[in-house]
Amino acid sequence: GVAIRVENLTKFYGGPTGTKALEDVDIAIEDCEFISIIGPSGCGKSTLLRILAGLHGFDTGSAAMFDEGVDAPRDDVGVVFQTANLLPWLTVDKNLTLALEIRRGKAAAEAADVGAMVEMLNLKGFEDKYPHELSGGMKHRVAIGQALMQNPRVLLMDEPFGALDALTRDRLNIELLRLWQRDRKTVVLITHSISEAVLLSDRVLVLSERPGRLIADLKIDLPRPRD
């Protein structure tokens, strides 16, 4: 089935006399598809992601997830931003269960299998460390873990590794791919790197310069590491 459907989506910042960030965008994303979105700086990639995350309104058109209009953040959607926003006064395991605790209460947070998540993220031994004791790559892994902790059906990622060095980034991308292979989800990844998009995704969507219009929708038909 279709996980995400965006139709004729137009978004202005500051109303119709302001900045037009997206224009007439149409996208359909299948359940469990891995999609990348690329395009020049300022073309509206983050805007689109934030609309899908329920964090921004829009002006015309529609945005739906599993056939429900998107108008607020959803429990079954995990979001990862460019900077890993960990709380500095909480340890790795507390950072991982934070969103669960906020949304579903202390009992839900305590019942969660943090150990399994820590293992999957390759962070064994770091459960009790604070963010300042982690490398950049580790912080980003924790941020992805935060988004995955609620076992979302959809994972939205806005250049999650953009701030990292190329080597760490390649490593995390491979881990991301493994994770996706293990536990298929619908993934929307914003990236600046075409090679990353091609390596990871089933489809690459290209937005034009502002206002962002969908100018290409490319099916990637290559044997990839996961195949």
Q: Using CB under 6 A as the criterion, which residues of the chain lie in contact with ligand ADP when the complex forms?
A: 13, 19, 21, 39, 41-47, 54-57, 71-72, 210
**Residue 127: CB minimum distance to ligand ADP, A:** 32
Closest distance to ligand ADP from the beta carbon of 120 (Å):
28
Residues in a beta bridge with 203: 35, 219
| For ligand ADP, the closer CB: 54 or 160 | 54
Could you check whether the bond before residue 211 is cis, i.e. omega within 30 degrees of 0? yes
C-beta nearest to ligand ADP: residue = 57
| CA neighbor of 202 nearest in space, from 43, 29, 79, 44 | 29
Closest distance of CB 162 from ligand ADP, Å: 11
Which H or E run includes 88?
none
Of 1 and 15, CB closest to ligand ADP: 15
CB of 69 to ligand ADP, least distance (A): 10
Residues linked to residue 162 through DSSP beta bridges, in sequence order:
none
Nearest distance in Å: CB 212, ligand ADP: 7
Which lies closer to ligand ADP via its Cβ, residue 169 or residue 210? Answer: 210
CB nearer ligand ADP, residue 18 or residue 125:
18
Q: How many CB atoms lie within 10 A of CB 40?
A: 14
Instruction: Please report which residue ranges of 53-204 form alpha helices under DSSP H.
Output: 92-104, 106-111, 114-120, 136-148, 166-182, 194-200
**Which residue number, 145 or 211, has a Cβ lying nearer to ligand ADP?**
211
Q: How far apart are CA 45 and CA 5, in angstroms?
A: 16
